[in-house]
Structure 1
Amino acid sequence: MTRHWQDLSSTAALSSLYLRAACKRKITGDTLPDSGLRCYLEVRPQQLEAYRKLCHFSDDGRLPPTFPHVMAFALQLQVLTAKAFPFPLLGMVHLHNSIRVVRPLGGVSRLRFSVHVENLQPHEKGATCDMITEAEDGLGLLWSETSRMLCRGVKLSGEPVATAEPVNEPLDELTRWYADSDIGRRYAKVCGDYNPIHLSATSARLFGFPCAIAHGMWSKAMTLAALRGHLPVSGYEIAVDFLKPVRLPSEVILNASPTAAQGQLRLDGHGELVHMHGSWRPLD
């Protein structure tokens, strides 16, 4: 497929994108657009400092590996709320996230981001699609991300794609942290992701959740911060599947393989709950 790119001088305001999302409630088709958006975006130092503090990243002169996701959030939202995208944003579920750090994220102040969607597949609860985000500097690709989203209620022909089971190997407790009741609001204030299911029990109940749940990308960011001694500076991929949501407030336990070039991770709750599992590996 030939991708048609629209180059923007800036992203749309988040307020207008949330209004657009709130107004679109129906599925309008079963084909993904062949277009994408590109835009140069600046690192905002105050946001970066607040993000490091929120997610427990040390200031080592490099961007946290999840921070480009935050930089690109408005551009991603603009793709998912565009008229050509056939599914309503409200109610979509983030199932999987894979981040590839191609080169070191040091000395970065401005990047060109590109975002598009692809790979529409049937799922037992609807359909999934992949949102692809890439960040380039003057030398080429620096960082990329694949976010798999579940669109409920979509009917596609064909059999659902089977999900791969994680490799079961002995994991050691690396750390644990407490997700307090206002972490969703604090994450939203820093990152702009004001999905109601994360903000309060009252707003979460409107979407079928008994209480607010933590942002999946906050859990992944906290995990990457804790794994800093396990991961190289660059040349790796870390992928996770989001399973049971982290209800707020609650304690979670991060288990991981011993320090190695590749390994497994699992984020557990109490009572045999598994919130997230995943792995890291060197890039080919």
Structure 2
Amino acid sequence: MRATELSSAPNLAALYLKAVATTPSRRGGGELPDTEYVRRDITVDREHLAEYNRMCGFGLRDELPMTYPHILSFGTAVRLMTDPGFPFPLVGLVHVANTITQHRPLLVTESPTQRVYLSDLRPHPKGSQFDVVTETSAGSETVWTESSTYLRRGKPDESAAKSERTAAIEAGAPTATWQLPGDLGRRYAAVSGDRNPIHLHPLTAKAFGFPRAIAHGMWSKARCLAAFEGRLPEACTVEVEFAKPVLLPSTVEFTERATGQGDGRGRDFALHSRSGKLHLRGSVR
């Protein structure tokens, strides 16, 4: 794999313009580029971190929320997905799953290194999917890894196995109920840098087939983890699958339950609409 060092975070505004300009030339054929981007000595902006914490419901602490390194690497991931060798148009990709493993919390005073690359292009019942993999280290210690799975909708592939996983938790009495405002997508975009038009405004969302703007999947995951704050082990894996999109504005219900016994204990959790529609299912192990 060809490693390329980046001295600073990529310019997301320029990358989005590039994504729009190159969309017609990306037809979906070919392989993923064999490129790895590396950013060293990343400095955490404390004011930005505080705004992210408020946006997602985390308290202010010296430890980074488990989902915050995703924000640090997002620009690098977008650069990979707008490089000339990337086969798909960035606009229209669907974030369908995310798995984060934390070996220990990162501190706001640390200056981590992140490596980001693409992996495992494979068929999906609704097209093709692949992973964006991020490895975050402090010194020589790998402390955090992430795999974000994206779907490129296309011709159905009969060879792709359909997921047999069912909802982690049936709709029932919620642990918490959250009212999500219509501008949630724009507010989270300002913090995360993820300005996909499906999140920003009803008109731009309708251009991609959604009746209203939809919430970011990574906001939903972060908000769920904030509900666990103070109860998660320092070392754990949190896996989520994004099911039906959360339309904005809306009201969602968070549900959780304990699973397993002894050292294998964990938690399952889910987000549902009040009608019982599943938006997100996840597990902590």
TM-score (norm 1): 0.92
Query: Which letter maps to 1:16?
Result: A
User: Superposition pairs for residues 13-92 of structure 1, below 5 Å?
Assistant: 13-25=11-23, 26-40=26-40, 41-92=42-93
**Aligned to 1:24, what secondary structure does the other structure show?**
helix
The residue that corresponds to 1:257 in the other structure is 257
Cα distance between partner residues in 2 of 1:155 and 1:136? 38
In the alignment, the residues of structure 2 paired with residue 245 and residue 106 of structure 1 have an alpha-carbon distance, to the nearest angstrom, of 32
Give distance in 1, aligned partners of 2:31 and 2:184.
36
Structure 2: distance between partners of 1:136 and 1:161 = 34
User: Contact 1:27/1:154 (CA < 8 Å) preserved in 2?
Assistant: no
> Which residue type is aligned with residue 249 of structure 2?
P
Counterpart AA for 1:53: R
Structure 2: stretches of 5+ with no match in the other structure: none
Amino acid paired to 1:83:
P
Paired residues for 1:27-176 under 5 Å: 27-40=27-40, 41-153=42-154, 159-166=159-166, 173-176=174-177
Identity of aligned residues (%): 38
Deviation string, structure 1 residues 31-84 (Cα, Å, up to 9, x no partner): 111211111222111110100111110112110111100111111110111111
SS of the aligned residue for 1:85 comes to coil
- In the TM superposition, what whole-angstrom CA distance separates every residue of 1:260-281 from its partner, at most 9, and x where no partner exists? 8312111000212100001110
Preserved CA contact (<8 Å) 2:169 2:255: no
* Aligned partner letter, 1:57: F
CA-based RMSD of the aligned residues comes to 1.9
Question: How far is 1:15 from its partner?
Answer: 1.3
Of residues 248, 257, 270, the one that matches 2:274 is: 270
Distance 1:137 1:72 in 2: 15
Q: TM-score of the superposition, structure 2-length normalised?
A: 0.91
Q: How many angstroms does 1:259 deviate by?
A: 8.5
The residue that corresponds to 2:284 in the other structure is 280
In 2, Cα distance between equivalents of 1:277 and 1:13: 32
For 1:117-172, what per-residue CA distance to the aligned partner results, in whole angstroms no more than 9, with x for missing partners? 1111111211000110111111411111110000122687x711332414756776
Partner of 2:221: 220
Deviation at 1:86, TM superposition (A): 0.7
**Alpha-carbon distance change, 215 to 177 in structure 1, aligned in 2, over 3 angstroms:** same
List per-residue Cα deviations over 1:173-220 (Å, max 9, x = no partner): 221211100011110111111111111101111111111000111111
- Which runs of 5 or more residues in structure 1 are unaligned? none
